Chains A and B, each alone.
Chain A
Amino acid sequence: MSEASVELARPRARQNGWWATSWRQFRLERRMFWRNPSAAFFGVLLPLLLLAIFGAVFSNNQHDLNVIVPGIAGMSLMSATFTSLAYNVTTLRERGILKRLRGTPLRPSAYLAGLASNAVANAALQLALVILAGRFVFGVPWPRDWGSLLIFAAVGVVSFAFLGVALSHLIPNPESAPAYVNAVFLPQILIAGVFYDAKDAPALIRDVADVLPLKHLVDGLSGAMIDGTGVGDHVVALLVLAAWGAVGALFAVRGFSWEARRD
């Protein structure tokens, strides 16, 4: 009798399709992102701050500005995906949130899609901000090849997202996450031609940068935004970037753990 009244009071069964589930997760991740001041700062403001500083330093040199804007665009795409996912997945795993979710009927693929979409949304937001700032503050023209820009941005975002998740498997706890992430991120932004023209770097540095993914993303973005050279002129760069993505995907899936690391 009382059981029947409880039945009536219950909310209607939800739609738990894959897309509905990942969309709800995405919206939840967005809400939490904006509530976390440090994430919001590093995710959105820091790239703009760097752009402002370097833009001010090079304000009289349009050639340098033309290097900086696509460079910071590439760096932003990497930090929004690689850095934040490496940190987030480590934290979610070590806090036990992944394990808790694993005990619910939530579909893992829908959950991970929602989680990754949050990083992709940040990447898109930052790319838009950098392009707008470049156009209206630093006198860099609108991107010349939007198609190539979108292709490089998409491949870059997917590749760095997988690499970020793969790196999280190596990070033992949230406290050491910044050290691990920066050990990979900082050297790469320094040698990849984010803050200067990579052609001016010594040969050894260039060789190392050529093997790593970020330089190729910056090259592709630079071609699309500044030089008007499309995907056809940067096939190798796209392939290197995609190859890193494939390696990242392999390790991201293989090493994935829903539970905290314990001995």
Chain B
Amino acid sequence: MMGRVTSAAQAIEVVGLRKVYGDREALRGLDFSVARGEVFGLLGPNGAGKTTTVEVLEGYRERDGGEVRVLGEDPGARGTRLRERVGVVLQSCGTYPHLTVQETLEHWATLYPAPRPVAEVLALAGLEEVAARRARVLSGGQLRRLDFALALIGDPELIFLDEPTTGFDPAARRAAWDVVRALRDLGKTVVLTTHYLDEAQALADRVAIVKDGRVLAEGPPDALGATRYRVAWRDDAGSIAERFTDDPTALLHELTSAALARGEQLEELSVTRPSLEDVYLELTTAADEPAPAVPA
């Protein structure tokens, strides 16, 4: 748990964020922080509160409680300066159908004080070949790349990507991943929401697993799995038994000595470090189980 919001070195700090829709609590005291230059993944099932969270950070939603700082500012104030420094890729958002890709980017560039050159953004987003086409004839994947391009044209320090690859074919996903990696290489801070574990694993420096409006775990994708070990064996009844532990040495000692005392063998005994997927499934499917301690 973090204390008060004080640090200016963080790109984003969220403490105790709450959001209520009618009588439904969408966010129930969310905490996390994102360092500058980091790719941060908000991971969770549909309806977990990922989009609500980023929309509060983007300034689209007013929060009902908690502290939020984005690049040192309160996004709820909807300051022009903050919007000049932030790029947003929303989940499904149209553009002007009768403008070409080039024209659309040129117009969006006029909205920012120091835009990136249009040609550079076209190249970065992989849109050079369709620059002269009107938006209405673009494919879904091309439109998504235009979303990326429009979020980048203002040369933002921080970019929000809300489920950037949902509905993509594998090739388009890889292309989008390359764009995110390119953004990180440019020193940008990226916050992406996703329900694809491989995407979080491939792109994010750190992830927060969100469910029911709470952060269940936060840390680097590999470290999330590494702190807990899965010990499995085949029991007397012939089915696989498993235990999770932070201390496999002690658990193995306990299990093996008990087995030896009974004069039995632990068939197919194995110790594995769970993948992000194992952690995710354990956290998001188990109800009301305390979250594991994970170093942030």
Q: Which residues of A contact B (CB under 8 A)?
A: 6, 9-11, 13-14, 16, 21, 24, 28, 31-32, 35-36, 95-97, 99-100, 102-107, 259
Return the contact of A103 from the options B83, B114, B155 (Cβ within 8 A).
B83
> How far apart are the CA atoms of A154 and B94 in the complex, in Å?
33
Q: Which residues of B contact A (CB under 8 A)?
A: 58-60, 80-81, 83-84, 86, 88, 90, 92-96, 98-99, 107-117, 120, 150, 154-155
CB-defined A-B contacts under 8 Å, sample of 21: A10-B117, A11-B115, A14-B109, A14-B115, A16-B111, A24-B107, A28-B96, A28-B99, A31-B98, A32-B96, A32-B98, A97-B93, A100-B95, A103-B58, A103-B88, A104-B83, A104-B111, A104-B154, A105-B83, A105-B84, A105-B112
Known pairs A13-B114, A102-B60; list 14 more (Cβ under 8 Å).
A9-B120, A14-B112, A14-B115, A16-B113, A21-B111, A24-B107, A95-B94, A99-B90, A100-B150, A103-B59, A104-B83, A105-B112, A105-B113, A105-B154
Task: Point out the residues of chain A lying under 8 angstroms from B107, CB to CB.
Answer: 24, 28
Task: Point out the residues of chain A lying under 8 angstroms from B81, CB to CB.
Answer: 105
Flag if A100 contacts B93 (CB, 8 Å): yes
Task: Point out the residues of chain A lying under 8 angstroms from B116, CB to CB.
Answer: 6, 10
Which 7 pairs from chain A and chain B are nearest by CB?
A95-B94, A96-B93, A35-B98, A103-B88, A105-B83, A100-B93, A104-B111
Chain B's closest residue to A2 (CB) is B186
A94 to chain B, nearest CB (A): 8
Task: Point out the residues of chain A lying under 8 angstroms from B150, CB to CB.
Answer: 100
> How far apart are the CA atoms of A104 and B107 in the complex, in Å?
12
Task: Point out the residues of chain B lying under 8 angstroms from A104, CB to CB.
Answer: 83, 108, 111-112, 154
> How far apart are the CA atoms of A100 and B96 in the complex, in Å?
11
Task: Point out the residues of chain A lying under 8 angstroms from B92, CB to CB.
Answer: 96
B16 to chain A, nearest CB (A): 25
Determine chain B's interface SS by DSSP, over half rule.
loop
Flag if B111 contacts A105 (CB, 8 Å): yes
> How far apart are the CA atoms of A102 and B96 in the complex, in Å?
15
- Decide yes or no: A96 and B115 within 8 Å by CB, A32-B99, A36-B98, A104-B108 being known contacts: no
> How far apart are the CA atoms of A16 and B81 in the complex, in Å?
13
B79 to chain A, nearest CB (A): 9
> How far apart are the CA atoms of A24 and B114 in the complex, in Å?
17
Flag if B110 contacts A99 (CB, 8 Å): no
Flag if B83 contacts A11 (CB, 8 Å): no
Chain B's closest residue to A13 (CB) is B113
Return the contact of B96 from the options A11, A97, A103, A105 (Cβ within 8 A).
A97
Task: Point out the residues of chain B lying under 8 angstroms from A259, CB to CB.
Answer: 60
Flag if B95 contacts A14 (CB, 8 Å): no
Task: Point out the residues of chain A lying under 8 angstroms from B99, CB to CB.
Answer: 28, 31-32
B119 to chain A, nearest CB (A): 9
Chain B's closest residue to A28 (CB) is B107
Return the contact of B94 from the options A13, A24, A31, A97 (Cβ within 8 A).
A97
A9 to chain B, nearest CB (A): 6
Chain B's closest residue to A12 (CB) is B114
Chain B's closest residue to A97 (CB) is B94
- Decide yes or no: A96 and B111 within 8 Å by CB, A103-B88, A105-B83 being known contacts: no
Task: Point out the residues of chain A lying under 8 angstroms from B155, CB to CB.
Answer: 10
Task: Point out the residues of chain B lying under 8 angstroms from A97, CB to CB.
Answer: 93-96
A36 to chain B, nearest CB (A): 5
A124 to chain B, nearest CB (A): 22
> How far apart are the CA atoms of A146 and B107 in the complex, in Å?
38
Task: Point out the residues of chain A lying under 8 angstroms from B59, CB to CB.
Answer: 103
B80 to chain A, nearest CB (A): 5
> How far apart are the CA atoms of A217 and B81 in the complex, in Å?
44
Task: Point out the residues of chain A lying under 8 angstroms from B110, CB to CB.
Answer: 14, 16, 21, 24
> How far apart are the CA atoms of A14 and B108 in the complex, in Å?
12
Flag if B93 contacts A99 (CB, 8 Å): yes
- Decide yes or no: A10 and B114 within 8 Å by CB, A96-B90, A104-B83, A104-B108 being known contacts: yes
Chain B's closest residue to A36 (CB) is B98
> How far apart are the CA atoms of A44 and B94 in the complex, in Å?
26
A176 to chain B, nearest CB (A): 18
Task: Point out the residues of chain B lying under 8 angstroms from A36, CB to CB.
Answer: 98
Task: Point out the residues of chain B lying under 8 angstroms from A105, CB to CB.
Answer: 80-81, 83-84, 111-113, 154
A260 to chain B, nearest CB (A): 9
> How far apart are the CA atoms of A242 and B84 in the complex, in Å?
39
> How far apart are the CA atoms of A142 and B122 in the complex, in Å?
53
Chain A's closest residue to B153 (CB) is A104
A46 to chain B, nearest CB (A): 19
